[in-house]
Structure 1
Amino acid sequence: MTTSFDLSEVKRRMDGALAALKHELGGLRTGRASAALLEPVQVDAYGSHLPISQVATVSVPEPRLISVQVWDRGMVGAVEKAIMNSNLGLNPQTEGQVIRLRIPEMTQDRRKELVKVAHKYAEAARVAVRHVRRDGLDLLKKAEKDGGISQDEEKRFADQVQKATDGMILEVDRILAGKEKEIMQV
C-alpha cells in the first residue's frame, strides 16, 4: 500500500483554520451590538457543548443591546454562565427566559481586553496551521518510507508545506493587525 501526498489538501485544511479565525474575529465587535458576538459562546447543555444558537434565539433590538431568548427555562442558568465565562466582558441581566446584554461603551481598557481576545484567537489559528503542517510532514515521511515517493520528492514537498505554513502564519498576522487597528480606533 503506497501513501500518496496531496499538497492541495494541506492548503485546504490551512485555509479552514484561516476561515475559522476570520469567523471568530467577526464576532469581536467594537462597541456595537451584534448577534455574531455570541457565536463563539458554547453552552453546557444536555450533556454536551452546544453553540448558543442551538439553545436560544439571539437578536439585536437596539444598537447597544443583545437579547437572548432561551427556549428551555432550565437552560437559562447554563446560558448565563456560558456568556459570563466567554471573556467577552458582558454582564447578563436575566428576566425570566430573556437574557439582556448591554454592550458597554468602549473604554481604552475594554479595547485592550478585546485585543487580547483577538490575539488568543490568532494564536489558536497559528497552532491549527502548525498542526496541519505536522500532519502533512508525517504523511510525507510515511509516503517516503512506504516507497510512494523518493527522498528528493519528500524534501521538495516538505519545503512546499513549510512555504504554505509560513504564508498562512503571515496571513493570520495580517488579519490580526487589521482587527487590532479596528478595535483600537476611537
Structure 2
Amino acid sequence: MAQYDKSDLERRMAGAIEALRGDLTGLRTGRANVQLLDPVMVTVYGANMPLNQVATVSAPEPRMLSVQVWDKMNVGPCDKAIRSAGLGLNPIVDGQTLRLPIPDLTEERRKELAKLASKYAEGARIAVRNVRRDGMDSLKADEKKGEISEDERKRKETEVQKLTDGVIADIDALATSKEKEILGQ
C-alpha cells in the first residue's frame, strides 16, 4: 500500500477534470469547433493516425470546418474517416480540402448530446471518488503501520473529503455549463 500523498491525489483528480474537459470539447454544439474532429482516426500509410496528423483543421466560418489534407492520396481516407466517425458530418471534397458544413442540431440530437455530457461528467465523478478511496485506504494503512495517529488520519481524511467535494463541484459546473450550451439556453 502506498503512503498517503496529497499532491498525488490532487494531480489525479485534476487529471479527471482535464479528461472531462476534453470529452466535453468534442461534443458538437451547433458551432464549428476544430476540436470536434480530434477523435477522428484515419487509416493512412498502413496505420491509424489522428486526423490532425495528416491534415490542418480550421474553422473559417462559425458553421463550417475546413480540413486541408497535406497529401492528396489521403483525401479519400480522410473523407471516409470523418463520415464514419458518427459526428453527423458530411464532407464536401474540393481538391485537397474537405469542407464540413455544421448542420443545425435537432431537438432530439440536443437532448442526446446533453445526456452524453452528463454521462461523461458521471465518469469523471467516479474517477474522483476512486482517487478519494485510494487516499482514504492509504491513510488507514499509514495509521495501521503506526506512521500517523488516529487524530491525524481523521484530520487528513477531512482534508481529502474537502478536496473531493471541491473537484466534484467543478465537474458539476462544467457539465451544467456544457448542457446549457448544447440545449441553447
Give the TM-score normalised by structure 1: 0.76
Asked whether 1:160 is paired with 2:159, we answer yes
Which moves more between the two structures, 143-152 or 62-71? Answer: 143-152
Compared CA separation, residues 147 and 120, structure 1 to 2 (3 A): same
Q: Percent identity?
A: 55
Distance 1:97 1:146 in 2: 65
Give CA deviations for 1:108-150 in whole Å, capped at 9, x if unaligned.
1222132123223212322321232233234334433444323
Structure 1 contact 60–67 (Cα < 8 Å) conserved: yes
Distance 1:170 1:47 in 2: 44
Q: For residue 88 of structure 1, give the secondary structure of its aligned residue in structure 2.
A: coil
What is the CA RMSD across the aligned residues, in angstroms?
3.2
Structure 1 residue 181: deviation in Å? 1.4
Asked whether 1:62 is paired with 2:61, we answer yes
**Residue number in structure 2 paired with 1:103:** 102
Distance 2:155 2:122 in 1: 28
Compared CA separation, residues 88 and 123, structure 1 to 2 (3 A): farther
Structure 1 contact 30–183 (Cα < 8 Å) conserved: yes
Give the TM-score normalised by structure 2: 0.76
Q: Please list every run of 5 or more consecutive structure 1 residues that lacks an aligned counterpart in the other structure.
A: none
How many residue pairs get matched? Answer: 184
Q: For residue 58 of structure 1, give the secondary structure of its aligned residue in structure 2.
A: strand
Distance 2:47 2:147 in 1: 42
**Residue number in structure 2 paired with 1:134:** 133
